[in-house]
Amino acid sequence: MSSIDLNPPRGMRDFLPKDWVFREKLMQVFNDVSKTNGFLHYETPVVDSYELFERKAGEEISDQLYDFTDKSNRHISLRAELTPSMVRLYAKNKESLPFPAKLYSIGQCFRYERATKGRKREHYQWNLDILGENNISAEAWILSTAIQVMNKLGLNENDFQIHVSNRALLSDFLLSIGIEKERHSELMIIIDKKDKIPAEVMKEMMEEIKIFSSQIEKIIEFLDKKTLEEIRPFVQKDSLALQELEHLFAAAKALNIAPYLRIDTSIIRGLSYYTGIVFEAFDTNKEFRAIFGGGRYNSLFDRMTGKDIPACGLGFGDVVIEELIASKFGRTETFPGIQVILGQFEDALQGKALHLSAEFTKNDISSDMLLCSLPPKKFFTQANKRGAKFAAYLAPEEAKENTFVLKNMESGEQKILPLEDISSILDFIKA
RNA sequence: GCGAAUAUAGCUCAGUUGGUUAGAGCGCUGGUUUGUGGUACCAGAUGUCGUGAGUUCGAAUCUCAUUAUUCGCCCCA
């Protein structure tokens, strides 16, 4: 018989139980923090129509969609992100959902591209969105929620920083130095690379697209500004974009998250649907890719559904945060422990062991069982390897008295207890 | 899509100019202890050397193809 390739498909991951421990905790934190901040959970399919994900604005993201034709010749794609499906869901069900609404979801997303550090062909992403709210405190609320997640994972303002900008601000500035709107896109692609390439190379790239050197000087100067006060002279006095950033920082101060935020006018967020404030979180040393990112996308609903709903949101993937946490705390290498493991010396005693496990279940004690009979040495070795806190062993001598051995695997303390005396059993386990 | 590196035991990795029977540590199995795990000591098994072809008297080692992984570029929700 020919054997199959045991590797998962390119860029996809298998998770061993020990690998999943972290992800399970991460998702638990995502869920808990979303709920305690008023976000409602929704789910959408892993596949959706190709049309939903396709970008019409000349972007070539469509090439990276994992798409196929189904048996009825429908053009289907695995989701590359959660936002389009969420937009579809909200536009369809708006009347039965709150308005404005806070929504969240955690889902596996796929993209067909070369895997690199921090990017696979598949990842889990947490999405937070606030829909129907123009007030900039929505952005602050989302950032605060994400920061709570980071704090629960043991990371604080010394570990990461959120770089904040406003696309409209950059746009206003470029207009003010005489660069017309049609040229902003190609220029923003260059500005987005600011931290990746040397300043000289960036200048050359700008020269290539016919930006005057006097303009380049001003752009570089603008990109170096780190505070709102420094930016003020570069834009008009009544700049709405600047007011939005002021509003965000005021709200951040009130939410006690100001230490996490910094102005970084080079943040662009690709060429996607963002219209206003944009942000990306980086580890302090900028060793890794962005941990999470997002911003305001006020025209996406209108473009996709014809319904004019302002929105802002955030996407937070599992890959970079795992790398960051592994570098700070190391990787988890253990199984999650079970409270009690049961076993028996011979098959005749298995009924009693099974019955005892049912008692544990009834009392909310997690239990595992070695289903084949084992001599004590092997049983306790197995109990130890599986990380059980207690081991319950049914052996002939005790069974004659209708008792069994219950051992604390950490302290080594051991008791012979009657099988029916549930309260004593629970006392020993809970002590 | 482009470029580079890597692939040897369950895991992390050695393996000389191509040369006899393929190595270590961890883990695994057994024993010291036939009713008690972790520590220690002793012993044992690890395997299609990623896959397929080629060169050669002889290939883990050289060549080509192929698959996967990692890093960089392109791109980026």
**Domain locations in chain A as residue ranges:** 17-329, 340-430
Query: Would you give the DSSP letter of residue A63?
Result: G
The one-letter code for the residue type at A72 is: S
CB of A18 nearer than 7 A to strand B: no
**Nearest nucleotide over every DNA/RNA strand to the A13 CA, judged by C1':** B69
Close Cβ partners of A300 (under 8 Å, ≥ 6 residues apart): A83, A87, A273, A311
Mean pLDDT (chain A, rounded):
90
The DSSP bridge pattern shows strands A340-344 and A367-369 to be: parallel
**Phi/psi of residue A271, each to 5°?**
-120, 25
Cα separation, A223 vs A214, in Å, equals 15
How many angstroms is C1' of B64 away from CA of A389? 56
Q: What is the CATH number of domain A17-329?
A: 3.30.930.10
**Nearest nucleotide over every DNA/RNA strand to the A79 CA, judged by C1':** B77
Q: Are A249 and A137 in contact (CB under 8 A)?
A: no
How many angstroms is C1' of B8 away from CA of A340? 40
The third-level CATH classification (topology) of the domain covering A340-430 is Rossmann fold (3.40.50)
The complex's ipTM works out to 0.84
Alpha helix segments (H runs only) across A6-159: 17-36, 50-53, 83-93, 137-152
User: Residue A269: what pLDDT?
Assistant: 85
SS3 content of chain A, % helix, strand, coil (to 5): 45, 20, 35
| Chain length of chain A | 431
List of A residues 76-105 with CB within 7 A of strand B: 80-81, 83
Among A80, A104, A133, which Cα is nearest to A270's? A80
**Nearest nucleotide over every DNA/RNA strand to the A388 CA, judged by C1':** B37
How many angstroms is C1' of B77 away from CA of A212? 33
User: Residue A56: what pLDDT?
Assistant: 56
Report, in ranges, which bases of strand B sit under 7 Å from a protein C-beta: 1-3, 28-31, 33-38, 67-77
Q: How confident is the model at residue A60 (pLDDT cuts 50, 70, 90)?
A: low
Q: pLDDT exceeding 90 applies to what percent of chain A?
A: 62
CB of A180 nearer than 7 A to strand B: no
Q: Answer yes or no: same fold for A17-329 and A340-430.
A: no
Report the protein residue whose CA lies nearest the C1' of nucleotide B30.
Answer: A378
Residue with the larger pLDDT of the pair A268 and A160: A160
Alpha carbon A312 to chain centroid, angstroms = 17
CB of A12 nearer than 7 A to strand B: yes
How many angstroms is C1' of B52 away from CA of A96? 60
The b/e string for A401-412 (b: 16+ C-beta within 10 A; e otherwise) is: eebbbbbebeee
How many angstroms is C1' of B19 away from CA of A8? 38
Looking at A9-23, A130-144, A287-301, A400-414, which range is the least confident one? A9-23
**Nearest nucleotide over every DNA/RNA strand to the A119 CA, judged by C1':** B76
List of A residues 365-384 with CB within 7 A of strand B: 375-378, 380-381, 383-384
Token digits for A313? 């949101």
pLDDT, one tens digit per residue, over A70-129 is 899 999 999 999 999 999 999 999 999 999 999 999 999 998 888 888 888 999 999 999
Residue with the larger pLDDT of the pair A100 and A327: A100
Q: Which residue has the tokens 């997640």?
A: A149
pLDDT, one tens digit per residue, over A161-182 is 999 999 999 989 998 998 888 8
Close Cβ partners of A136 (under 8 Å, ≥ 6 residues apart): A244, A247, A248, A251, A277
Q: Which residue has the tokens 């951040």?
A: A252
Angle in degrees, 0-180, between the axes of helices A184-191 and A213-223, rounded to the nearest 10: 50
The DSSP bridge pattern shows strands A311-317 and A122-131 to be: antiparallel
Among A18, A8, A11, A9, which Cα is nearest to A326's? A18
How many angstroms is C1' of B45 away from CA of A410? 31
CB of A270 nearer than 7 A to strand B: yes
The DSSP bridge pattern shows strands A390-394 and A340-344 to be: parallel
Question: In the predicted model, is pLDDT for residue A45 greater than 90?
Answer: yes
